[in-house]
């Protein structure tokens, strides 16, 4: 039996991945701030889920809870880092930018590094980060969200390079979804929003294949390729 932790499993992609992993025989440690949602997911299959509520920004508590969770599971093979936040911020409200940076950069880095060091010590393991296609270019509507996702993409590449140099069995996967139908992707004028179950299935396939980078879905992969090619002069006017 394999064990995993999903950070950010109270809703959306993390929650759906937790269900897929459990259906595939994993025991899964699920985390997030909303304990009642963790309890609700656990009630679906109480023997398969282990819960710890914490805020990724409280790194001291996060470390304690991750260690407790790993102990209860008896070790982990996989950690999926799905926690994240982002808002439209046309007025550049600094509180929104700060919350995004804290969650998607500071807290996120703490968890990614905790997992990497755990796997380094164990000489095996798989770290998966859910970044975003948004990380490929800047955004006038949500500058901090796209910038923090660019950070995650770059950081995961750095950890992958480190893992390769270590020559142990550590894998680092960067999942870059387009729009997925979750709490985060609400708003007007959204297009090609993927149903959550479809996105989660494709993410899980990419995880099982231990891909370095995966765009979810193929259609969004094409959009990502085009996005990268748009000349700066054109992009600045969009």
Nearer to ligand NAP, 10 or 89 (CB): 10
Residue 217 touches ligand NAP, criterion: CB under 6 A: no
Question: Which range of residues in 12-20, 70-78, 89-97, 113-121 is near ligand NAP by CB under 6 A?
Answer: 12-20
Distance in angstroms (rounded) separating the CA atoms of residues 212 and 58: 29
Residue 12 touches ligand NAP, criterion: CB under 6 A: yes
Buried b (16+ CB within 10 A) or exposed e, 133-169: bbbbeebeebebbbbbbbbbbebbeebbeebeeeeee
Question: Which range of residues in 68-76, 88-96, 153-161, 181-189 is near ligand NAP by CB under 6 A?
Answer: 181-189
Contact assessment for residue 134 and residue 149, using Cβ atoms and an 8 Å cutoff:
yes
Q: Number of residues interacting with ligand NAP: please give it, by CB under 6 A.
A: 29
Please report, as residue ranges, which positions from 150 to 169 form the binding site for ligand NAP (by CB under 6 A). Answer: none
Per CB under 6 A, the list member of 2, 20, 57, 143 interacting with ligand NAP is 57
Residue 14 touches ligand NAP, criterion: CB under 6 A: yes
Residue 182 touches ligand NAP, criterion: CB under 6 A: yes
Nearer to ligand NAP, 48 or 180 (CB): 180
Q: Beta 49-53 vs 27-32: how paired, if at all?
A: parallel
Contact assessment for residue 14 and residue 6, using Cβ atoms and an 8 Å cutoff:
yes
Strands (E), the chain: 3-7, 27-32, 49-53, 78-81, 124-130, 169-177, 213-216
Q: Which two tokens stand for residue 149?
A: 């996702």
Contact assessment for residue 196 and residue 180, using Cβ atoms and an 8 Å cutoff:
yes
Least Cβ distance, residue 45 to ligand NAP (angstroms): 18
Binding site for ligand NAP (CB under 6 A): 8-14, 32-34, 55-57, 82-86, 103, 107, 130, 132, 177, 179-180, 182-185
């Amino acid at each position: 039996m394999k064990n995993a932790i999903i950070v950010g499993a109270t809703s959306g992609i993390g929650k759906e991945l937790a269900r897929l992993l459990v259906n595939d025989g994993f025991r899964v440690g699920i985390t997030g701030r909303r304990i009642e949602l963790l309890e609700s997911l656990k009630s679906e299959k109480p023997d398969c889920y282990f819960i710890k509520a914490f805020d990724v920004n409280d790194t001291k508590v996060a470390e304690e809870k991750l260690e407790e969770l790993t102990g209860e599971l008896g070790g982990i093979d996989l950690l999926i880092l799905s926690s994240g936040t982002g808002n439209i911020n046309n007025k550049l409200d600094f509180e929104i930018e700060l919350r995004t940076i804290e969650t998607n950069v500071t807290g996120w880095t703490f968890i990614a590094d905790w997992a990497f060091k755990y796997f380094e010590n164990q000489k095996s393991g798989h770290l998966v980060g859910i970044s975003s296609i948004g990380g490929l270019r800047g955004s006038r509507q949500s500058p901090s969200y796209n910038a923090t996702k660019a950070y995650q993409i770059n950081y995961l590449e750095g950890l992958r390079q480190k893992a390769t140099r270590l020559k142990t069995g550590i894998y680092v996967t960067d999942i870059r979804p387009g729009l997925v139908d979750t709490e985060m992707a609400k708003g007007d004028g959204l297009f090609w929003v993927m149903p959550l179950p479809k996105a989660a299935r494709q993410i899980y396939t990419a995880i099982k294949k231990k891909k370095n980078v995966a765009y979810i879905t193929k259609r969004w992969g094409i959009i990502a390729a085009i996005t990268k090619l748009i000349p700066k002069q054109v992009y600045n006017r969009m």
